[in-house]
Amino acid sequence: MALTLLGVSLLIFAMIRSVPGTVVEQLLGQAAIASPEVLAAFRRFFGLDRPAHVQYLEWVASVLRGDFGVSWLSGRPVLALFLERVPVSAELAVLAVAWSLLIGIPLGTASAVWRGGVRDGAIRVVATLGLSLPAFWQGTVLILLFSIYLGWMPSLEWVPFTRHPAANLLTMALPTLTLGTATAATITRMARSTMLDTLGREYVRTARAKGLPERRVTFHHALRNALIPVVTVAGVQLGYIVGGIVVVEDVFTLPGVGRLLLDAIFQRDYPVVQGVILLLAAAFMVLNLVVDLFYAVLDPRLRRG
């Protein structure tokens, strides 16, 4: 993981340095072209006149000290800006995964139990539809329906949970629904697939042969084992949700990390772009690691291995 993180940092560094015309020229625009002295001064100021490998090593050293640079526009540390926005994005991600588990596991289990029937077919179609919905369009339709036509959510302005829990959850309802739909669909499909696999196992047949009621066989014996890969998928999805957050926060104008990144991109605030992408990629990798560890906790066979 350390090697991959090193590669990730190298890639992000190289990406930002490959901005056409150099970052300073992008920032200064015509002023830089008109005055080479101004350009040289700014390059010196930002340390861009030094060799690339020196710049990279200095940047990595700063990052390891917790210094992700300073926003060119606000003058504030990137880490502080990121941490300010994290609660919104983290809440959205957790709510989306919770919602998708709440929907996906029962639907997937029911679909497996009703295998081959009309209800199974309907659930599979709905799950495929859920995977095909573009989140930005789904969010737009939900705003149109619930905020504009029905007027149930007239204000989409985000308020912290600690200040007004009910208003916070109301504001987060539509973004959660939007962000969690594709994950719910993935979990439904995964739950169905693993339940079908588990229901065909010998120990399930043995449980049935012992005369246990079907409900007990399904929920006590099969579902508990089928849930292990489902939980893993949910964890992996939490990582992928990190990417989806950028789009959903834009649709619902939520003041999260995604909005911070997009604003920085459009304002060419490259230290913020660089820092936020690195932090999000690191979060994604840590989440994957936690999922792997959690998988071992859930499945004792892996611990013995």
Partner 1 sequence: MRSSIPVSAVADSGTAAAPNRSLARGPLFAGACVALLVVVAVGLFAGLLAPFSPTAIDAAHVFQGPSPRHPFGTDRFGRDLLSRVVFGVRVSLGIASASIAVALVVGGGLGLLAGLGRGADQVLGRVMDVFLAFPPVLLAIGIAAVLGAGGGTAVVAIAVVYAPLFFRVVRASVLAESAQAYVEAARALGLGRLAILVSHILPNVVSPIVVQTAVCLSYGILIESALSYLGLGVQPPTPSWGTILNEGKEFLAQAPWVSLFPGAAIMLAVLAFNVIGDGLRDALDPRSAVG
Query: Which span (15-23, 36-44, 68-76, 203-211) binds partner 1, by CB under 8 A?
Result: 15-23
Place of tokens 């573009």: 134
For residue 18, the minimal CB distance to partner 1 (Å) is 6
Query: Reduced to 3 states, what is the DSSP secondary structure of residue 31?
Result: helix
Q: Return the structure tokens found at 209.
A: 């042969």
For residue 158, the minimal CB distance to partner 1 (Å) is 18
What character string, x for contact with partner 1 (CB under 8 A) and - otherwise, covers 101-130?
A: -----------------------xx-xxx-
* Beta carbons of 191 and 112 less than 8 angstroms apart: yes
For the chain, the C-alpha Rg in angstroms (whole number) is 24
Q: How many residues does the chain have?
A: 305
Of residues 233 through 292, those in contact with partner 1 by CB under 8 A are 233, 236-237, 239-244, 246-248, 250-251, 261-262, 265-266, 273, 277, 280-281, 284-285
For residue 291, the minimal CB distance to partner 1 (Å) is 12
Amino acid type, 37: E
Q: Return the structure tokens found at 229.
A: 């890969």
The CA-based diameter of the chain, rounded to the nearest angstrom, is 87
Q: Which is nearer to partner 1, 207 or 248 (CB)?
A: 248
Which stretch of DSSP H or E encloses residue 146?
none
Q: Which is nearer to partner 1, 142 or 223 (CB)?
A: 142
228 binds partner 1 (CB under 8 A): no
Place of tokens 């043995």: 206
- Adjacent-strand bridge partners of 77: 70
Of residues 127 through 186, those in contact with partner 1 by CB under 8 A are 127-129, 131-137, 140-141, 143-144, 148, 181-183, 186
Query: Reduced to 3 states, what is the DSSP secondary structure of residue 77?
Result: strand
- Adjacent-strand bridge partners of 70: 77
For residue 9, the minimal CB distance to partner 1 (Å) is 9
* Beta carbons of 280 and 258 less than 8 angstroms apart: no
| CA distance linking residue 74 with residue 64, whole number of Å | 23
Of residues 184 through 213, those in contact with partner 1 by CB under 8 A are 186, 189-190, 192-193
- The whole-angstrom distance between residue 203's C-alpha and the CA centroid of its chain comes to 37
| CA distance linking residue 35 with residue 39, whole number of Å | 7
Number of residues that bind partner 1 (CB under 8 A): 62
For residue 11, the minimal CB distance to partner 1 (Å) is 6
Q: Which is nearer to partner 1, 207 or 287 (CB)?
A: 287
Which residues contact partner 1 (rule: CB under 8 A)?
A: 3-5, 7-8, 10-12, 15-16, 18-20, 124-125, 127-129, 131-137, 140-141, 143-144, 148, 181-183, 186, 189-190, 192-193, 233, 236-237, 239-244, 246-248, 250-251, 261-262, 265-266, 273, 277, 280-281, 284-285
